[in-house]
Structure formats: C-alpha cells, structure tokens
C-alpha cells in the first residue's frame, strides 16, 4: 500500500495509537473516541459506501460545521477511493446548488436540520444526488442517519482492502471550492500526496506527541484546517472540535490546547483586547510596555542560546507574573505549535506574542497548494515574513514580482475548467496572483494581491492591504476597505467595532438613542479622520485617505461580506455600498488630484 495515501497513513497511525483519544467535541461530556474506534468506523463506513455502488473517483459532499463526524466521513471517503467535496457551514442554498451540481456529488452527508433545510431548497436541481445522510436524525427529512448507514455496513471489508491496495498518492483526494474574494467558486483538485507531503515536512519541523491536544475551529472545509487535522491524526494527538467558531476564546481556556492553527483575526483580537485593557491608565500602559520589552529581551536570549543575567531573570519573572502570563492564559496556556495562515499578519502581533513566550509562526499558501507554499520552522523564522519555501517545492518571482510556485503539493487543476487551469498553471508553475519579495536567505514577504492593487487615475499604484494593516492597529477599525481604483484619490469604508464606537461617543460627550446615530455624526467622522491621518502620516501623499464612511452593516460570513477565513470580499463590499462610495467622490473629490 502507498504510504503517501491519506487512508493508509491514518490507519497506520490508528494502529500505533489504538488506545489514545482521537476526537472529541468541546463542551460535550461524552468520552473521546479512541483511534481504534475511529478506525473501525472509518472502515465500516467505507465498506458501506462501496456497497451502495460508489466507484473510485465518485464524489461525496460533506456539509457540516466542525464535528468528529466530518473527519469520519472524510477518512471513509479516502479509504473507499472516493473524492470528498466539502461545503462551508455558512454556505447559502445557491452555493450548495453550484458546488453539488458542478462536482456531480452522488451522496451528501449533512450535519442536521439547518443543512437539510438549505439542501431542500435546491434538491430538485441536483439530478446526480442519490442519497442524503445526516449526522443526527432530522424529522421529515428524506435522509438516512450516519448511525443507520454504519449499522448497514457489510461484515466483509475485503473490498476496502482491495481499494487500499490499489490506491496511489497521486489519486484525487478532494475537490475544495475556493471561497475567494471575487468570482464564482472553482473546484480545486487536490491529491493525497499534496497533503501527506506537507505532513512529512511539518513533522520534520515539529516534534509532536500522542499526548498533544489540538483545537479544531477553523472550517474543516478550508484547506488549512483540513491539512492540519491530517498532521494531528498522523501523530496520534487529540483533535478537539469547536462547532461554533464564535466560542473559540472560551474553548481555548477550557481545552488548553498546545497545538493550534488560526487565521490572523483571532490573534489580532487577543492583541487588541490586551491593549484595550490598559488604555484607560497611563501607569498600566507603561507597565505593559516594560513587561513586553523585558519579555522580548529574555526570549531573544533564549532563542540565541545566550546566558540570561540574574537581573534579566528577576525582571522577567516579575514581568511574567504581572502581565505576560495572563496573555498566555487567554490563549489557553503554552503552545508547542501556534501557527497562522489564510491572510497577512502584522509583524507587531508576531512580536507581541513572542514577548509573551508564544512563538507565532506565519505561513503562506493557497487552496491550490494544499495549502502550504512557505512556512517557517521553530529554528528558522523571521518576523514580517512568511518563512521559506516548503521542502521539495520551488518559488520564483515572475513578472511584476508575482509569486510562482511548483512542488508535489500543487493541485491537479480546477474541476471541469481547463481554461482557468491553463491560465494559472503555466509550464508546471502556479501563478499565485500574489506579489512578494524574497531576501537573500530565502524568506518570503507578501506585498499584496495583483488583482487588489489600486491604480489611481493619476497612475499611482497603491497596495491596499498594507494600508489596511496600519489601520488595524486601532481597535475601532474592525474591518476596512480602501478604494480608489481609477479614481483621483483614496477613500475608505469602515465597519467599526461598535463598543469602541460608543466609547468615542462618550469621550466626545455626545448623546444618542441608537448606535446608528453615531455612524454619521460629524464629530465622530472627524475623530475617525483624525485617527486615520495619524496612522497613515508617514505614507506618501498619494497614499493618503481623503474621505471615509462608516457602515451600518457588520461584515460577516452570513451576509456574504467575509470569506470563511475572515477576509473581506472586496468586490462585494464595493458593490453593496456603491452609493456611499459615489457620495464620497462626488461630494469631496471634485477638483482634487
């Protein structure tokens, strides 16, 4: 059997760690499922899927939040030679229709009532869908349950063994539909090798143990959490699933995981909360600044292998007791692995966590690279970069410094989209659409997305993400969108943090009946313009923001303004608030250059 195949890899791990706990749900008192129990269910479900007539390469949808059943179905598909097609728990009925119809799924596994209701709206448009299975019983649903399917599994699992024997690392493992900030989702075809190659590389970077605990809260439908789950299970560690990512702050404290992967937003919120906690007291601000300075000095000495003086040790113990330990506690304690991906992370946040004794490693990748393209190791990192190219891969900078990549974890292409595939895969190189630079030691720095670059009517090129990153230093700016493409100057749309907006109202001694009144209050807008000017003071004149508007509507996945990795869908926001955008340019832009 091919050791580069996900099912082979998992079953080997399950045999080695049979009695260890494998999966559990945060907040649920049930005993964790052991590796032996999970492996038994994987084989039974694989046998059942084969008995239902599913042939190698057939597609199976998984529509659910993060649950152990999600992983069970995924692994069963790998064991049966099937191709899993994940859907985000926040998917709309239209998105469900597009993905299931485009991929031709024959079977769909659904978590429960919310997913059943969405599927019911479009079921008539899905002629290939033969069977629906729910994780829990749903009244009046035209579906069987997962328990029923497992109970119906044939006792003879020889067909599973036959498919495993015929399996190859180069087989198609999954089709992940991109949740990009623009355009219709495309199905990215990823192989078993694409994932297991990264597992092997990360196992060389980190020494994981079967006593480790990971917190699984990013959507499993996203390649980052999916790939990381394979790393966790390959090492016999415990994966704790968080069905509602909005509860992750509480889950970190309850579970105290020592392995965790997240997008920047979580780390930004911890950083902002720590800064906000001392904002009302100059004394507390000075104490935190001192503690972070001491923490940086201490942990830098540890990293460099230099001796720590008695004075430094005493100062560090005091700084840790007064400030630093509380931040680690908010993150659920010390970490063996603390990683970040999915979007750019500001360097000051990396440095903040380092000071607190938490090494936050930022990588870079795309769904098309399964997903890692670069990642730092615990002994080879450089803040402000996304590490060096993954072992076995190659990176080069193409025209306009576009990042291009080739390696064993590259996608096969886009499902049923040969023209789209040919547009990004050229002579074996993936053209990422991202702009970057690389230093002499091979550390990669991401500048922006080519498609996101703003070119003003004066011919000036502006990278919006770097400016939006500057604004994120102020907790008031929950989400921002910089505008100005083919316009004479830059403007800004702001989805504010409403609690911080109220704080401003109180500071300005305003009165209001509803929060919405603050959004258009001249004094509030003036205060925001002042903050923007202060944060962007060192930028070039053409990078200065001339006007801004506050938005009533929050940015969420549910309303379609954020991707599942919490990136702003730029085109959708600009389209939805086109009237406000035009107002900024028509009212304040005439005659400016």
Residues of the chain with CATH 3.40.50.12780: 6-197
Spatial neighbors of 43 by CB under 8 A, at least 6 apart, are 76, 79, 157, 160
Task: Decide if 139 contacts 162 (C-beta within 8 A).
Answer: no
- The matching CATH number, chosen from 3.40.1190.20, 3.40.50.12780, 3.30.9.10, 3.40.50.300, for 6-197 is 3.40.50.12780
Write the CATH number of the domain with boundaries 453-588: 3.30.300.30
Q: Tell how far CA 329 is from the center of its chain.
A: 22
Report d(CA 369, CA 226) in Å as an integer: 13
pLDDT for the residue numbered 587: 63
Question: What is the CB-side half-sphere exposure of residue 99 using CA atoms within 13 A?
Answer: 29
DSSP string of 330-358, one letter each residue:
HTTS--SEEEE-SS---HHHHHHHHHTT-
Read off the pLDDT of residues 492-534 as tens digits, 9 standing for 90 and up.
Answer: 999 998 888 988 999 999 988 888 889 889 999 999 999 999 9
CA angle 358, 361, 362 (to 5 degrees): 140
Report d(CA 171, CA 83) in Å as an integer: 9
CA dihedral in degrees (583, 586, 588, 593; nearest 10)?
Answer: 130
pLDDT for the residue numbered 202: 97
Report d(CA 242, CA 50) in Å as an integer: 30
pTM for the whole structure: 0.87
State which residues of the chain have pLDDT below 50. 181-182, 588-593
Residues of the chain with CATH 3.30.300.30: 453-588
């Amino acid at each position: 059997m091919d050791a580069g195949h996900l099912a082979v890899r998992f079953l080997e791990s399950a045999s080695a760690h049979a009695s260890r706990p494998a999966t559990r749900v945060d907040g649920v008192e049930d005993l964790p499922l052991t590796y032996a129990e999970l492996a038994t269910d994987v084989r039974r479900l694989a046998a059942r899927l084969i008995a239902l007539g599913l042939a190698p390469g057939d597609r199976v949808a998984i529509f659910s939040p993060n649950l152990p059943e999600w992983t069970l179905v995924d692994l069963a598909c790998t064991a049966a030679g099937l191709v899993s097609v994940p859907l985000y728990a926040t998917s709309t009925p239209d998105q469900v229709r597009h993905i299931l119809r485009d991929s031709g799924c024959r079977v769909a596994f659904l978590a429960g009532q919310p997913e059943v209701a969405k599927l019911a709206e479009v079921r008539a448009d899905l002629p290939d869908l033969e069977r629906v299975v729910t994780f829990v019983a749903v009244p009046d649903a035209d579906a069987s349950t997962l328990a029923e399917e497992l109970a119906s599994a044939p006792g003879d699992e020889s067909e599973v063994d036959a498919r495993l024997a015929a399996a190859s690392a180069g087989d198609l493992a999954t089709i992940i539909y991109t949740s990009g900030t623009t355009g219709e989702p495309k199905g990215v075809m990823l192989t078993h090798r694409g994932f297991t190659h990264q597992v092997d590389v990360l196992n060389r970077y980190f020494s994981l143990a079967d006593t480790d605990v990971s917190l699984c809260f990013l959507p499993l439908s996203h390649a980052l959490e999916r790939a990381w789950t394979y790393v966790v299970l390959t090492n016999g560690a415990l994966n704790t699933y968080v069905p509602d990512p909005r509860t992750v702050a509480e889950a970190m404290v309850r579970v105290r995981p020592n392995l965790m992967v997240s997008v920047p937003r979580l780390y930004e919120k911890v950083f902002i909360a720590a800064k906000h906690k001392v904002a009302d007291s100059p004394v507390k601000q000075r104490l935190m600044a001192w503690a972070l300075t001491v923490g940086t000095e201490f942990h830098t000495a540890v990293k460099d292998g230099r001796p720590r003086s008695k004075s430094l040790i005493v100062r560090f113990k005091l700084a840790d007791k007064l400030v630093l330990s509380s931040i680690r506690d908010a993150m659920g304690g010390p970490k063996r692995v603390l990683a970040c991906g999915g979007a750019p992370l500001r360097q000051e946040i990396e440095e903040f966590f380092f000071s607190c004794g938490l090494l936050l490693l930022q990588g870079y990748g795309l769904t098309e690279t399964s997903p890692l393209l670069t990642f730092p190791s615990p002994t080879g990192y450089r803040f402000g970069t996304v590490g060096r190219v993954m072992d076995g891969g190659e990176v080069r900078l193409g025209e306009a410094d576009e990042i291009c990549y080739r390696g064993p974890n590259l996608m096969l292409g886009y499902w049923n989209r040969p023209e789209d595939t040919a547009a990004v895969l050229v002579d074996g190189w993936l053209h990422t659409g991202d702009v970057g630079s690389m230093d002499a030691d091979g550390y990669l720095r991401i500048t922006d997305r080519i498609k996101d670059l703003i070119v003003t009517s004066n011919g000036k090129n502006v990278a919006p993400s770097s400016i939006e990153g500057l604004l994120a230093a102020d907790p008031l700016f929950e989400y921002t969108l910089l505008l100005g493409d083919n316009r004479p100057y830059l403007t800004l749309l702001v989805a504010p943090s409403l609690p911080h907006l109220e704080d401003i109202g109180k500071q300005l001694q305003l009165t209001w009946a509803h929060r919405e009144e603050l959004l258009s209050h001249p004094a509030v807008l003036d205060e925001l313009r002042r903050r923007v000017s202060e944060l962007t003071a060192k930028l070039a004149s053409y990078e200065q923001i001339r006007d801004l508007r506050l938005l009533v509507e929050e940015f969420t996945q549910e309303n379609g303004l954020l991707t599942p990795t919490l990136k702003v869908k730029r085109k959708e926001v600009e389209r939805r608030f086109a009237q406000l955008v035009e107002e900024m340019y028509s009212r304040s832009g005439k005659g400016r250059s």
